Structure 1
């Protein structure tokens, strides 16, 4: 047993000795600065290659030439600017035979082991496509293409062409690469650009133009458009995944998800996501429609080779669509009584006003009244784009309480008129209709003022004399001022003004006012006040008008009352 144990230990020592000494013997011919490059990225000639560029990391690709006198290398960044350089490494001696190296060694690594020199041929930094064209190295060389993106992780496409002259893989861009704006509308923009010479050649069928529009920025390439669309789709998937996790109905969850996905595919059929793209046709004039008014848009045009998968970029442009026609808005002053006249031969007409209440409470009262003629109006009050109320305006007084907004937009719209009025309008060259409008700030009020239950004025026959009459009318529970006006009846002219509710006290002469009195009754049923009007002429017909004079709003006119004094008393 002791002999067997001793032999096992001796074998283990010999194995350890041989394992430690073999690498030293094998690596004696290898340089100390050996860099393992396996596996290496090789460029294929005549094929568009895409290289992923992680942020801050240098990516290397390699290629060799087959006794070509000239070559060209085209590097096109996808979205962000990159730095790239091209160098040629030439060996002093030919590479050793492959059997002298490990089977895992790559061709670039074999070039690195031998003595040689490296010459930098070309460098470029930027976000546009760049091409190096030149003579090939006369010596046996391997070419190294280094690319790096500093700002963000991105990608680039590389195209290698052997031989002199253009590769023909990329569409040609004309001397004037700009995209011009021919016309800008409210929802459309018309563009034009100089045609590409590639689309006029014998193989023009494989080319077309791509027109992209978005509201963010101009795009340097079609690849950038695809990257933006991919990011947008990823964001949408994250949002829908969150919604899917919080779905309250697990039985319907799968059905809802499938329905949503189907709707998304119908709404976004373009492979560029939110980017609107049209890739078809060879016309150099394009009208982009279905845009939003008053919005900045960016337009890019690309000439595309559908066979090779390459494209060339025109110099993009930007344009802002026209905004919608804004109506003129008249500012209403505090307490201003305004008469609004509509003169329109058409069935509709409209006007806009704005009102800004005083005080921190931002409360006010809007009063509107139609001034006869049989016209009907629609009143719409809005604030910050939100409609607060919509009211019909006729012969009755309309009161709207305003509260809680710093400014109000008042839209007064005239609606259809009667056939008799339209026939009259055709003879007069247009139909006139007017509305009284008044706005007042109401600091201490909490709502609209109360109105009388009826606007009829009553006279008492038993109290009618040769020189005086007695009138009665309904008041309100609020303390208000009532004024009585009189005039002698002037025959048929008074028939047209008896129901003219818009004839306010401002249109009356001071000589017609006979009295003004304050009245208040907390019980609306008993809110009746009377007035004895004297100094009248016997046997004379008078027209009496009563006005409710208010601190806020339009004065309220009662129905005119015709009374004839007695001839003999």
Structure 2
């Protein structure tokens, strides 16, 4: 069942009966009783409301602009899941607005009409994503606004701020012109960060401080997303979802579920203090440091990738703004300069940008040929294989490559890897004296995906790629993208060592087993249907061989036609 929230704001004079102020609790209590709306929730103008969304069940919030040329601000903050939200305006007739009396029956009728019909509403703004997004207009006509929110991923919590005045009572912290976090130094077990302070106007209001968060998964775009992550193993037990929605929303807003006070809420209470407050759990660390604009994380693991986020938080209201996150890898402990490869053992090797890694493979009692199979996951890497000090192979590699080098008892083989200028390299290397053992799937030299523009329609795209005649399993995946696509996500998808294990089931289009007996051409084509007009999608192809290792073709972004 859809749950509807009634979001009401400080009125001017419009709907108030004599002796009753429209922003007073008595007015809204009377309105609740007369409208017969399920699960109503009331919030005053300029306040922030916390709500709960069931997966695929929309929530609706209403608020009113009572006079023409009203400034309207709406700010939606997703927590632990992306949201789709739409703002719609219903211009109310003069009988409801500006007559000096609260016509509850007529107002309730228009709200129900707005909710139950599609015709009256004017679409004002819509957005889909997991980042904070705002809508603002200086001169809204008088009318009733409906904000509808939907989570297609999972049950989630969200926050909404709305205002119908020029100056909200306590605004969100104003970030500097450059909101990026700078990594100032990196050690084996420490990372130092610095950032520009918020505006002086924000600092003057009620004392705004900073909270710094680190984890090993990804950057977070909102503070409530961090709160949800820190809570998930404590407060939100499966039984918590059995609470009535209103009790759950209240529990989320007060950091209490099933009677337990969340320690995170206590930490945020000291944001303005000069003494750091700490919340630490399972590889996650949140530190609130007052008005400092730099911080050093200690006791980190060497050679580990960490993500860092900074939030400016108002100590009075707990409202926050997020800086642009950063990530870096701590320095690895010094190891022997030459890494020894073992016969028949798959080894992962990381090469820094413009860095050099040395590897050796010296089978003790073997003659004939040795095979070196390499899967370069990210950037192009220069490879040299030296046999007894002489260059046997030298070339730049990407994707999956196989090299064979002659071998006599006592020969010494040195493998040199040089990182490129564009970024670091990640490789999987397999050296063996048994050439029939191949860990990686057979892939063609050309691994780009071809999209046929002439066959692209409003609801379908046709994609093709090269295959080989060896037995492989090919899987095609498709992911919808937003216009505000995070480019880091796209780069992450270009890692050819990634398997489909973390992809959603709904993203899988098809999987095919192809081999020499049933493949007549090395070209494989597939038509994907059921798409939305004018929508961007990311296409990925994964090929898996008999050893279950996976190679991912470079992803391709496509867009369906807007009109056909």
TM-score (norm 2): 0.42
Q: Which has the higher helix share?
A: 1
Greater Rg over alpha carbons, structure:
1
Calculate the TM-score normalised by the size of structure 1. 0.42
